[in-house]
Chain A
Amino acid sequence: IAGITQAPTSQILAAGRRMTLRCTQDMRHNAMYWYRQDLGLGLRLIHYSNTAGTTGKGEVPDGYSVSRANTDDFPLTLASAVPSQTSVYFCASSDSVGSNEQFFGPGTRLTVL
């Protein structure tokens, strides 16, 4: 692994289904983030983690949950998907909170029907 990876690349999901988006980084970064990107809007922070074992809510956390059991992994779960969660999801990491650079994964394109 080099950098930060996400899986799946894309997914079509029926409304009401549960879905987990995976994110793994090998840079030993302490901080990790989940964003969604929608046309005409800026990236919006869903959840973040400043260090393993801690998580926090961002701007748009409703309908999403995260966990940070170790440094490398930061999965995002949609408990019961709704069409408004159709978006491109980016995972990112940084050395620490407030670092001057966040590194982004390639993104997951999610469509909820």
Chain B
Amino acid sequence: GQNIDQPTEMTATEGAIVQINCTYQTSGFNGLFWYQQHAGEAPTFLSYNVLDGLEEKGRFSSFLSRSKGYSYLLLKELQMKDSASYLCAAMDSNYQLIWGAGTKLIIKP
């Protein structure tokens, strides 16, 4: 079957760095996505990886290892506004997104 695993909740301190891990199993693979979702709002796109390695975009970076079925999202210089859920999703061979349940990130002052 198809499955995405990520931690349910994480806590970090303002100004620190946090890494959110995601493992995936899909029928075929056409990329790994990270979305941010604030409470009561719609998901918004953060990053897309299809090749192995690290993609950096400002304070956020995303890493992919296709051989390990593994990705992580790295958030640096954490701000209170980064408190949100982070959704990992893998695109399968039918170009449909398979979503994880999301990781709720709590930022403490």
Contact = CB atoms under 8 A, between A and B. Distances in A.
Given A42-B4, A43-B87, A102 B97 contact: yes
Interface of A: 40-45, 48, 58, 90, 97-98, 100-107
B95 A98 contact: yes
B49 to A, nearest CB: 10
Nearest to A105: B42
Interface string B67-109: 0000000000000000000010101000111111110000000
A48 B97 CA distance: 11
Interface of B: 4, 30-31, 33, 41-45, 48, 50, 87, 89, 91, 95-102
Contacts of B42: 90, 104-107
A101 B48 contact: yes
B95 A97 contact: yes
Contacts of B96: 45, 48, 58
Contacts of A41: 101
Contact of A100 (B4, B48, B99): B48
Residue in B31, B41, B43 with the greatest tally of chain A CB atoms within 10 Å = B43
B97 A100 contact: no
Contacts of A45: 96-97
Contacts of B101: 40-42
A90 B43 CA distance: 9
Given A98-B30, A98-B91, A100-B31, A43 B99 contact: yes
